Amino acid sequence: MKSLDVRRKILADNEAAAGRLRERFRDAATLVVNLISSPGSGKTSLLEASVPRLQSELKVGVMVGDVATDRDAQRLSKLDIPSLQLITGGSCHLDARLVDIHLEVEPRLQDLDVLFIENVGNLICPTSYDLGEDYKVALLSVTEGSDKPLKYPGIFSRSTATVLSKIDLLEYTNFDLEIVRQEIRMLNPNCRIFETSAKTGQGIESWCEWLQSCLAQKRTPS
C-alpha cells in the first residue's frame, strides 16, 4: 500500500469513528466544540474564563489533548467540571478513535450540555481530523500576527467561529484587526469572530452567549 493510500485509509477510519461519535453526541444532545490553535494561543485560558460563566446553568466538560504532560488538565481541574487529559505520545493531533476510547471509560463526560475538546497545539494537522464535533473553533492570539488566516487557510476556512485572543496585548503589537477580519471572511464568509481577553474578560460574555445559542439551536426539534 502506498503512502497516499495509507493516509486515505487513516482519514477514512477517522471519518467512520467520527460518525459514531456524532451519533452519540446527538443522542446525548451535547454541543461539542473542537478548539484548534497554535501552541500558546490561549485555549486553556479561554476555557478558564468561559467555564465559570457557563457552569451555573449548564453541565460542561473538557477533553484536552497534548503531546506530553497533563499540565492543561491540572489547570482545568481547578474548575469544578469533569476534565480528562489525552496524551497523544508524539502524535500531532487528536483523532476520533482516541476521543471515543476515552469517552467510553469516562461516564462523567457522557451526559453533558457542552463538551469542549481542546486539541493539541497545532494550527495544521488537527484540521483534517473530524472528532464528531458540531463546530471547529479556531483561536488566534494577536501576538501571532495578522498574516495568519491566509497562511493557514485550512483551519480558518473550516472553523465556524474564530476567537481572537489576548486582545489586551493589541496595542503592543502591529496586529491589524481589520485585515484579519477581511482575510477570515474571504476564506469563510459566515465565520463568527470574537475579540477576547481571558485576562480582562473582554468578549467572553459574547462568546458564551454564542455557545448557549448554538446549544439551543442543536436542541430545537427540526
- Contact residues for a second copy, defined by CB under 8 A: 1-3, 6, 9-10, 38-40, 66-69, 71, 90, 92, 120-125, 141, 143-145, 147-148, 150-154, 166, 168-169, 172
Comparison of 139 and 193: residue with beta carbon closer to a second copy = 139
Q: How far is the CB of 42 from a second copy (least distance, A)?
A: 8
Comparison of 28 and 169: residue with beta carbon closer to a second copy = 169
Q: How far is the CB of 129 from a second copy (least distance, A)?
A: 12
Alpha-carbon gap, residue 174 to 155, rounded angstroms: 23
Burial 116-135 (b: 16+ CB within 10 A, else e): bbbbbbbbebbbebbbbbbb
Burial (Cβ within 10 Å: 0-12, 13-18, ≥19) of residue 181 = middle
Comparison of 64 and 208: residue with beta carbon closer to a second copy = 64
Q: Can you read off the three cell numbers belonging to residue 134? A: 458540531
Comparison of 58 and 92: residue with beta carbon closer to a second copy = 92
Q: How far is the CB of 171 from a second copy (least distance, A)?
A: 10
Comparing CA positions, the residue from 115, 64, 73 lying closest to residue 94 is 64
Alpha-carbon gap, residue 94 to 25, rounded angstroms: 17
Find the helix or strand (DSSP H, E) in which 164 lies: strand 161-165
Q: How far is the CB of 11 from a second copy (least distance, A)?
A: 11
> Do the Cβ atoms of 165 and 45 come closer than 8 Å?
yes
Residues 140, 144, 146, 150: is their CA dihedral positive or negative? negative
> Do the Cβ atoms of 58 and 80 come closer than 8 Å?
no
Comparison of 13 and 23: residue with beta carbon closer to a second copy = 13
Comparison of 69 and 206: residue with beta carbon closer to a second copy = 69
Q: How far is the CB of 82 from a second copy (least distance, A)?
A: 22
Q: How far is the CB of 130 from a second copy (least distance, A)?
A: 16
Alpha-carbon gap, residue 83 to 66, rounded angstroms: 13
